[in-house]
Structure 1
Amino acid sequence: MGNKVEYKAAIAIPPGETLKEYLDDINMSQKELAKRTGLTEKHISEIINGKAPISQDTSIKLEYVLEIPASFWNNLELNYQETKARIKAEKDLEDEIEIAKEIPYAEIARLGWLNKTSDAKEKVKNLRNLFSVASLKQVPLTLSGAFRKSDGNNTSSYALAVWLRKGELNGEKIYTEKYNKNKLRKLIPDFRKLTLENPKEFYPKMVQLCASCGIALVLVPHISKTYACGATQWVNPNKAVVQLSVRGARADIFWFTFFHEIAHILCHEKKAFHLQEQVSEICIEDEADNCAREWLIPQDSYEQLVNSLGYSNKQSIISFSKQIGVHPCIVVGRLAHDGKITYGQYSDLRPSFTIKKN
């Protein structure tokens, strides 16, 4: 175990106290010192009471008058300011412990995102490093990214920030071409065909296709207090990160979330999307949902299926899926979401799967 210097909170003693003690020792009044240094009595009083610093100019004047080196006064002032700053930093650290409690630290440490520790202050320091901030208070509560979030859950903004940050860091490691909107739009049919393959085959292809048009696709495990299935964030004008949590591990949810995030990239501006329940945000999410639905199951085809009750048996659903060229899970998930069937029906057509994470 290496040596580690830890700062222990101390009392910050202003250099003015030392100056006052010395003046008392030599029986010099503040008024007399003011005359000899050319400083005002008010300024001398402020220095002695810790309300004004000893500047380098003042330290030289004190050296001439008191015959004590300017470096002595400068060091007193430097140590005083550093001690004050460290005391404040320690207080800030203690305040941020409450923020850190919103984050499932033990869980993300088990995932290898941060070092394991039971020390509250170490948790804060490690989280600061993760976010690359001087204070957890600087982590924006308005998060970049458009989330697919389950309703009715107690979401922690800070836990979401951790999840997003991990996606951003993972995305930075993936080389991508410059963002190409036209190429991405042309790739929609190719992504759609991948729904017919198993995860071991389709996921590497997804990553490659996304990278070819400026998107870093990453899988970031779901963590407590987030309830997010996916998010989109722009790391620069030429690169977007689409991150998926595979929360619930259902194939239909995975694919719908992916196409939802692609819709954000194609249909919306290169800016942050927020969690706030604002009308504009709700409209943006609805628009992305509608695009994803249309890409996966064209509306006219879906209406024909529903109107003809073509979902009354498993074979009909399988046949319809083959007809439109998607995995049956896509159709079953849509029907269940729209209340045409229960989520328990045809559950064998909605497989769960595991994808090796980035």
Structure 2
Amino acid sequence: MTIKPIRNEQDYSAALEQAADLIVREDARSRDDLDVLQAVIERWETAQCAIPAPTPMHAIRFRMEQLGLTARDLKPYLGSKSRISEILSGQRQLTVDQIRALNRHLRIPAESLIGETKHEPPRKPSTASIAAIEKLKTLGVMKTREGIDAFLARARKAAPAMAMLRKSRTDRTNAKTDLGALEAWCAAVLLIAEQKTLPKSAKRDRSPEAARRLAQLSGKRNSLARVEAELAKLGIILVILDHLPGTFLDGAAMCRGDGTPIIALTLRHDRLDNFWFTLLHEFAHVSCHLVEGTTIIVDDLEVSSSEGIEAEADAFAREALIPIKTWQTASGDLGTEELMAVAAKAGVHPAIVAGRWRYENQDYRRFSKLVGRGEVRCHFVSTVA
């Protein structure tokens, strides 16, 4: 029996008839022919019945529906409202950076995002923008007549590891980040840290107990004025530096040239709840994740992350601020009196309890007067605009 490739429906019908004839035969030659013919038939049927891969637009919309996301939730990964609209309508192709962000943060398969169309090229690392440079000068970090190359060279001399920043992007970096501005911000933090000294009695205590004591400082008088000194006692430098245009930062953990850990905060949201959570999140990175090969971790906490170290840092901060046994008493329809009771039991500022309840219940209208809005930046005026 001659077995031919199937190229059309007529060939397919003929192959089925051949198979029906062979299937009732019991000789070895017929069984061999049937095996080969079945493979040919299956190949044709698979090709004809294959389900086309989803377009990037459909893949994104499907994940949005699964996770209950709105177009606004895509801003950290795709950019402006108009750009999101163009992508979701199929009028604009994804950039390589956007594909990476959607794959990392929303776990959309890369093959679904790539599709069969051409994509915009990835952004090349560039020098800091004029706006970023001007802000550095306004903050007094960069010399008036100093060029950006000389400024970055000073920082690399202080901490050579900073040169690695451009070669990687952390999992919690906004997809819209201007990498040149981010590099300049990190350089500024390192240069500020170079001017700071730690007490000789400083103890390198990075334990959960030390984090818990730091969290409970929030419930005490003049806590913001005492934070830097308390961190210094633990052998950690605190730097407060406003974020630069295009950086979308809440904070960072990094190492000075001599290995001394640094916690840097931008205070971009100027709320007590955000301040204390970011502080303890970066403390977790200092405690657990700043190791050889990882000397800079930058965070936009509005970006969700599936990366292990970010989940660990979030859990570490939550437990330090409000232990799980205490938080379990705050579930449900929390009232103001109950909120105050939970804060007192945890020994932390009420803003921390209010912020966590708002986040976990996705209700940002509740307790809006209790999160300490506008009560942070005024305590750190030298390097925030």
Q: Distance in 2 between matches of 1:143 and 1:217?
A: 26
Cα distance in 2 for residues equivalent to 1:145 and 1:184: 28
Query: Residue 217 of structure 2 aligns with which residue?
Result: 194
Q: Is 1:243 matched up with 2:268?
A: no
* 1:331 matched to 2:353: yes
Counterpart for residue 107 of structure 1:
135
2:307 pairs with 264, 271, 282, which one?
A: 282
Secondary structure of 1:348's match? coil
Letter of the 1:217 counterpart? L
Q: For 2:273 and 2:357, locate their aligned partners in 1 and report how far apart those are by CA, in whole Å.
A: 11
The change in CA–CA distance for 1:100 and 1:185 in structure 2 (over 3 A counts) is: closer
Q: Which has the larger radius of gyration?
A: 1
Name 1:12's counterpart in structure 2: none
- In structure 2, relative to structure 1, the CA distance for the partners of 1:156 and 1:321 (3 Å cut) is same
CA distance in 2, matches of 1:347, 1:280: 26
Asked if structure 1 preserves the Cα contact closer than 8 Å seen for 2:249 and 2:266, the reply is yes
- Write the letter of the residue equivalent to 1:222: H
Give, in angstroms, the shift of residue 213 of structure 1: 2.1
Q: Is the 8 A contact 1:148 1:257 kept in 2?
A: no
The equivalent of 2:61 in structure 1 is none
Amino acid at match of 1:259: L
2:250 is aligned with 1:222: no
In structure 1, give the amino acid aligned to 2:176: N
2:60 aligned residue: none
CA distance in 2, matches of 1:157, 1:347: 33
Equivalent residue number for residue 322 of structure 1: 344
Poorly superposed stretches of 4+, deviation over 3 Å:
100-103, 122-133, 138-149, 177-186, 273-276
State the number of aligned residues.
246
Q: Which residue of 2 aligns with 1:295?
A: 320
- Residue identity matched to 1:304: T
Superposition TM-score, scaled by structure 2 size: 0.56
The answer (yes or no) to whether the contact 1:143–1:161 under 8 Å persists in 2 is no
Secondary structure of the residue that 1:187 maps to in structure 2?
A: helix
CA contact (8 A) 1:97 1:124 kept: no
Indicate conservation of the 8 Å contact 2:129/2:181, yes or no.
no
Cα distance in structure 2, aligned partners of 1:161 and 1:196: 35
1:62-115 residue CA offsets vs partner (Å, 9 max, x unmatched): xxxxxxxxxxxxxxxxxxxxxxxxxxxxxxxxxx99634376222222222224
**Which residue identity lines up with residue 139 of structure 2 in the other structure?**
L
Give distance in 1, aligned partners of 2:139 and 2:287: 32
Partner in structure 2 of residue 176 of structure 1: 198
The runs of 5 or more residues in structure 1 that have no matched partner are 1-95
5 Å-filtered alignment, 1:68-107, equals 99-101=127-129, 104-107=132-135
Which of these residues, 228, 236, 240, is aligned with residue 207 of structure 1?
228
3-state SS of paired residue (2:280) = helix
Tell whether the 8 Å contact from 2:127 to 2:181 is kept in structure 1 after alignment: no
Cα drift, residue 156 of structure 1:
1.1
Give the aligned residue type for 2:270: A
Give the secondary structure class of the aligned counterpart of 2:245: coil
The answer as to 2:187 corresponding to 1:165 is yes
- The answer to whether the Cα contact below 8 Å between 1:147 and 1:232 also exists between their aligned partners in 2 is no
Residues 238, 109 of structure 1: alpha-carbon distance in 2 compared, 3 angstrom cutoff: closer
TM-score (norm 1): 0.59
**Using the alignment, how far apart are the partners of 2:280 and 2:274 within structure 1?**
10
Amino acid at match of 1:207: E
What is the CA–CA distance in structure 2 between the aligned matches of 1:215 and 1:144, rounded to whole Å?
25
- The 1:103–1:130 alpha-carbon spacing in structure 2 relative to 1, beyond 3 Å, is farther
Cα deviation, 1:253-292, whole Å, max 9, x if unaligned, reads 100000001111222242325569xx99811111100100
Counterpart secondary structure, 1:342: coil
1:193 Cα offset (Å): 2.1
Instruction: Look up the match of 2:363.
Output: 342
CA pair 317-148 structure 1, distance change in 2 beyond 3 A: farther
| RMSD of aligned Cα (Å) | 3.5
Pick one of 153, 156, 171 that aligns with 2:178: 156
Q: Aligned partner of 2:352: which letter?
A: I
2:254 paired residue number: 233
1:303-355 CA-partner distances (Å, limit 9, x unpaired): 3321xx251x22221122112211111111111211x2511211110112222
Aligned equivalents of 1:142 and 1:304: distance in 2? Answer: 45
Give identity over the alignment, percent: 25
SS of residue paired to 2:239: strand
Task: State the distance in 1 between where 2:297 and 2:205 align.
Answer: 26
1:282–1:298 distance in 2 versus 1, CA, 3 Å: same
Offset, 1:188 = 2.4
Asked if the contact 2:236–2:263 (Cα under 8 Å) also holds between the matched residues in 1, the reply is: yes
Q: Retained in 1: the 8 A contact 2:290–2:296?
A: no
Q: Is the 8 A contact 1:159 1:225 kept in 2?
A: yes
Counterpart CA distance in 2 for 1:236 and 1:99 is 23
